[in-house]
Amino acid sequence: MSALDASIVNAILPIIQQKLHTQLDAVQWVVTVYLLIVSGLLLTFGRLGDIWGHRPVCVWGFALFVSGSVLCGLAPGITMLIAARGCQAIGAAMIFASSPAILTKTFPATQRGQALGLQATMTYLGLAFGPSLGGWLTDAFGWQSVFFVNVPVGAVAIAACRRFVPVDARHAMREPFDWAGALTFMVGLLALLLALNQAHQWGWHSWPIIGLFVVSMAFLAAFVQIQRRSLYPMLDLTLFRRLLFSMSLLSALLNYTCTAMITFLMPFYLIRHLGWSPSKAGTLLTVQPLMMAIAAPTSGTISDRLRHPSLPATLGMAVMTVGVGWLGCLKPDSGWLAIAVGLAVVGLGTGAFISPNNSALMGSAPRHRQGIAAGMMATARNLGMVLGVGLAGAVATTVLAYRPGATLHDAIVMSFWVAVGLATVGIFTSAARS
């Protein structure tokens, strides 16, 4: 539901802008505020899940998400819609931070990769079918129906959570919550994400962006110092001493950065460079998430049966690197088949990587630190997405500005080769776990 909602809203932003009579820079905050709030609160709710139990956090997360969806559908203007999206984001952060922990605690280690792979499949299916479903709902019932459809689905999810999700033991019940750590981490991460998200519009050398980077560094440095001195830290820094945990987290960050660069740039290549219609481009772009949905559960199941479960993740990162390199070799007049092959290989590699990598990351954390591990895993995903968009935009605009005679095709291809470099580093970070 959360992945579907994100992709649906992205697809109908032009309709929302038209119906609410607002500007493009304002309607973009419908997406931006969601991303910022989710990212800033993931670690907080992961830790609260370790203290209070992950089931209540998940149930209340669905309740807030559904409430925010109702408010979004009833919003009379853009300001109310952005505020309601903030409420949605709080609920989404609670769901994101608790779901992997619930799965990891519920299933034995021999089924952990399979369970997390099936979760990844649901996510990719939501991303794949969100745009088409959003277009159908908007045409048939108006843009508000995109948000109202979450209400019955969310009600079923709440009932299912209360009925089927077991109550987990509260190992950390006596540990106090680190409010100072939560505040400094949230402010530092929000400042960093906002700077990366808005740098291409405000300018990388503008004073607001520089100021946000300074604030981010100051608060994140304070966060690390607080965690080192706290008896009950919000982020257990000793987790990073585990090679399996730290390399899995770094590999995930690199993978999400590369996939975000492709997701951000391919619509420009198809629509602006090749002149395709949005519907035709959207149909072709579903190839990647569909391949990810197919590969994720299979790779997770295989990793459960191997002595070195990191091997499928490393192989998946290598396959993704080949796919990105294929896209980097596209000609200015490449046909749809060549593009589809590249996207399919990228999707196959990413799907093969995600499940065993997440399984390795979650399995490397102690049982009473599963919420922290899940929060860090989701934070790596969101940070990688923001880094990917920011890096892709920076490379493309730099090529267009400073290379004489450069075309949009040249800028996009250069960005893809930067992604190849990052993915190559990811192969080594993934292999280092073994």
Q: What is the pLDDT of residues 8-54, one digit of tens each?
A: 776 677 778 788 888 766 777 887 788 788 888 888 888 888 788 88
Answer with the one of 142, 165, 188 that is the final residue of a domain.
165
DSSP state of 62: H
Query: Of 11 and 334, which is predicted with more confidence?
Result: 334
pLDDT at res. 131:
67
Confidence of residue 414 (pLDDT cuts 50, 70, 90): very high
277 and 146 part of one domain: no
73 and 13 part of one domain: yes
Average pLDDT over residues 99-104: 82
226 and 260 part of one domain: no
pLDDT digits (tens, 9 = 90+) for 373-394: 777 887 788 788 778 877 887 7
- 350 pLDDT above the threshold of 80: yes
80 and 198 part of one domain: no
> Does 172 fall in a domain?
no
156 and 54 part of one domain: yes
- 62 pLDDT above the threshold of 90: yes
335 and 372 part of one domain: yes
198 and 259 part of one domain: no
220 and 284 part of one domain: no
Q: Indicate the average pLDDT of the chain.
A: 83
**Spatial separation of the C-alpha atoms in residues 33 and 68, rounded to whole Å:** 13
Query: Of 369 and 21, which is predicted with more confidence?
Result: 21
Of 238-252, 260-274, 416-430, the poorest mean pLDDT is in 260-274
pLDDT at res. 243:
85
- Six token digits for residue 143: 């843009």
pLDDT at res. 173:
54
Domain count within the chain: 3
pLDDT digits (tens, 9 = 90+) for 164-178: 888 876 554 566 788
pLDDT at res. 160:
92
> Does 171 fall in a domain?
no
Query: Of 297 and 218, which is predicted with more confidence?
Result: 218
> Does 302 fall in a domain?
yes
Answer with the one of 165, 190, 208 that is the final residue of a domain.
165
Domain CATH code at residue 141? 1.20.1250.20
Q: In terms of pTM, does the model score above 0.85?
A: no
185 and 97 part of one domain: no
> Does 47 fall in a domain?
yes
Confidence of residue 72 (pLDDT cuts 50, 70, 90): very high
Q: How many CB atoms lie within 10 A of CB 74?
A: 13
Q: How many CB atoms lie within 10 A of CB 326?
A: 19
- 109 pLDDT above the threshold of 80: no
Radius of gyration of the chain (CA): 21
Answer with the one of 141, 165, 189 that is the final residue of a domain.
165
> Does 328 fall in a domain?
yes
15 and 50 part of one domain: yes
243 and 229 part of one domain: no
Helix residue spans in 174-286 (DSSP H): 179-202, 207-229, 243-267, 278-285
Per the structure, the complete domain to which residue 229 belongs is given by 178-233
> Does 170 fall in a domain?
no
**Spatial separation of the C-alpha atoms in residues 200 and 150, rounded to whole Å:** 33
277 and 425 part of one domain: yes
> Does 173 fall in a domain?
no
**Spatial separation of the C-alpha atoms in residues 114 and 132, rounded to whole Å:** 28
> Does 61 fall in a domain?
yes
- 270 pLDDT above the threshold of 70: yes
pLDDT at res. 171:
52
Highest mean pLDDT among 38-42, 359-363, 421-425: 421-425
